[in-house]
Amino acid sequence: METCIFCKIVAGEIPSKLVAETEHTIAFHDISPRQPVHVLVVPKSHHRDVVELSKHAPFELLDLVQLGNRVAEQLTNGSFRLQFNTGAEAGQTVFHAHGHILSGTPRGSVDAVPMSEDEALG
């Protein structure tokens, strides 16, 4: 979608602080973090929310969750939330499916070096 901010980040039109990337998913630091660790995990293809993603691209949802887990392993002490907001009333503000990795207990520095694709793929 040409007006979607996450589509523009995926396309490289808007810069982001990249954490990790796979063929189907990108992870980057939230610009307005609510926890010491706040990373967005976003499918590269546009889907309005996680429900639509699960219906139309379940493999991409699996990839998103797996990458989110690897990001959490890299950036947290093991305690984290993977949260999806679905719909405006639930707090979704960008209507491109995405998960939030949130943790108050970072491992080392949140400014960790981005993972290579091989590390992200496990």
Annotated catalytic residue: which of 47, 96, 98, 100?
Answer: 98
Task: Give the per-residue pLDDT at 110.
Answer: 43
Greater confidence (76 vs 119) lies with 76
Q: How many helices (H) and strands (E) does the chain have?
A: 4, 5
Task: Give the per-residue pLDDT at 96.
Answer: 98
Active site residue 98: yes
Contact 77, 106 (CB under 8 A): yes
pTM of the model: 0.86
Instruction: Using pLDDT thresholds of 50, 70 and 90, give the confidence band for residue 116.
Output: low
**Domain annotation for the chain: domains and CATH numbers:** 5-120 (3.30.428.10)
Q: Render pLDDT for 21-42 as a digit per residue (tens, 0 to 9).
A: 999 999 999 999 999 999 999 9
